[in-house]
Amino acid sequence: MFELLTPEQMSRADAMTVDSGTRDGFSLMLAAGHAVAEVARNMFAAKGPIAILCGPGNNGGDGYVAAQFLAEAGRDVICFGTRQPAQGSDAMRALLFYKGEVHRLSALVPADFVGIVDALYGAGLSRPVDGVEACVIESVNASDIPVLAVDLPSGISGLNGQVIGNAIKARTTVTFFRKKPGHLLQPGRAYCGVVHVADIGILDSVLEKIAPNTFENTPELWRKQLPALSINAHKYIRGHAVVFSGPAHSTGAARLSAMATARSGAGAVTLLSPPDALATNTAHLTSIMVRETRSIKDVEAFLIDRKVAACVLGPGYGSAAFARDHALMLLSAANNRAEHLKGLVLDADGLTAFEEKPDQLFNAKRSHNTALVLTPHEGEFRRLFPDIAADYETSKLDRARQAAKRANAVVIYKGPDTVIAAPDGHAAINTNGTSLLATAGSGDVLAGIICGLLSQGMPAFEAACAAVWVHADAARRFGHGLIADDLPLQLPAVWNALERSAP
């Protein structure tokens, strides 16, 4: 259930189910209302009344059905409606199905209830919530009475997670069949609370026709693509990876990245070091090889001679000019000479090197066998893609997609709701992120995890998705007090847990 559906795609799933004769619209509404009632019954205290706020559409219909099921279960329920549903609609059938009281929405006093079910507006909301509804939402939020939202908290866009006017702050949300992007993108995710996905009888087969290309980043999305060791494996079959070190005063970031690359399965990892940093890097590394390089020609010769499979360039690198020249050489070498190079990860200084001339990177000629992965946080994204970033009406998901297409690269648009996007439009939203990763050097470790997976031949989009999830899982395993040095040491436990949980 890792596919995400836009509100329009969800409407198509409903319509296809009805057209197939599997269920009619009211049957779907009955199933949805029953699912809401079950969660509400367990969520709200057994004694005390429950308020159900019902809009005029299908979301309100779900609310009326839930109210009737709650009443039949012995709960004290009062519905508060905006205006009546349209005659002949499923929502009107739901209103007739409900046998209890319906008061004007403006009459709601939140403090009179032990819980509130928000069924005003669902994922398809396209206009700002205002007027009486906005005032009621403000009073509900101020009351701190627990709220269960139906489909999405009213006022949250199912498409992009943005607040449209005013929005309910829910502790729990019940949605149906599949989540929407608005459940995962901020600030929507913060408004949803815990999200339950209910089965209401829509068959998974509708997804074949809908063909969604947005996903929740869970192991089910990429687990089958994880590198597997064969009985005949040796270190170079597992991939030789390279990480570029910065000067003597800035070597730690590259070593973090190199260690994460090794802990992610690369068979051999070499740190390419400038002469002034050679002693420092050598003193700190054991299993990671160190190679002195004085020029681009040295690097290029090493790539070809040692059949390097993947590279990380940027962590602590320093010189923008050198970073730019080396990145372009790597892409060019991959096209013309070093055919073994499967991927290049540009992070930190590797990204800022192109902020003045991003087209140099985006238009660089490279082999179709060589993937480019970019890992910008918000500030780096704005500098690389200023026009895309300036379009605030576009969702983070769409901005990441546009950037990936322009750069012909997999883009990891980092943040509390990290989005991973591929040039072909496929995208994933990460959900296991943690503020524990807000520590210096954690991004360097992420770049290394990606590189380690690329070096073993994992496809770039899946490698990026896996790396983002694994990175966060490693942080959660360590917990408070985490620093970036701790992350590579947690990776074996993450890989082992994934292996044990594989179907």
> What separation in angstroms does the CA of 32 have from each of 151, 174, 175?
9, 9, 8
Q: How many structural domains is the chain composed of?
A: 2
Decide if 1 is inside a domain.
no
Decide if 236 is inside a domain.
yes
Residues 147 and 257 in one domain: no
Decide if 344 is inside a domain.
yes
pLDDT, residue 115, reads 98
Residues 271 and 298 in one domain: yes
State which of 212, 237, 270 marks the end of a domain.
212
Burial class of residue 434, CB neighbours in 10 A (0-12, 13-18, 19+): middle
Rounded to whole angstroms, the Cα distance separating 434 from 456 reads 27
Cβ 418 vs Cβ 442: under 8 Å = no
Structural domain boundaries, residue 389: 219-501
Backbone angles phi, psi at 495, to 5 degrees: -60, -40
pLDDT, residue 236, reads 72
> What separation in angstroms does the CA of 148 have from each of 62, 123, 252, 307, 384?
13, 15, 47, 56, 40
Decide if 2 is inside a domain.
no
pLDDT, residue 338, reads 60
pLDDT, residue 1, reads 79
Decide if 329 is inside a domain.
yes
Measured torsion, CA atoms of residues 150, 151, 154, 157, in degrees rounded to the nearest 10: 170
Q: Which positions of the chain have pLDDT values less than 70? A: 231, 233, 333-338
pTM of the model: 0.95
pLDDT, residue 72, reads 97
pLDDT, residue 334, reads 63
Closest Cα to residue 6, out of 215, 172, 272? Answer: 215
pLDDT, residue 105, reads 97
pLDDT, residue 336, reads 57
Residues 362 and 413 in one domain: yes
pLDDT, residue 126, reads 80
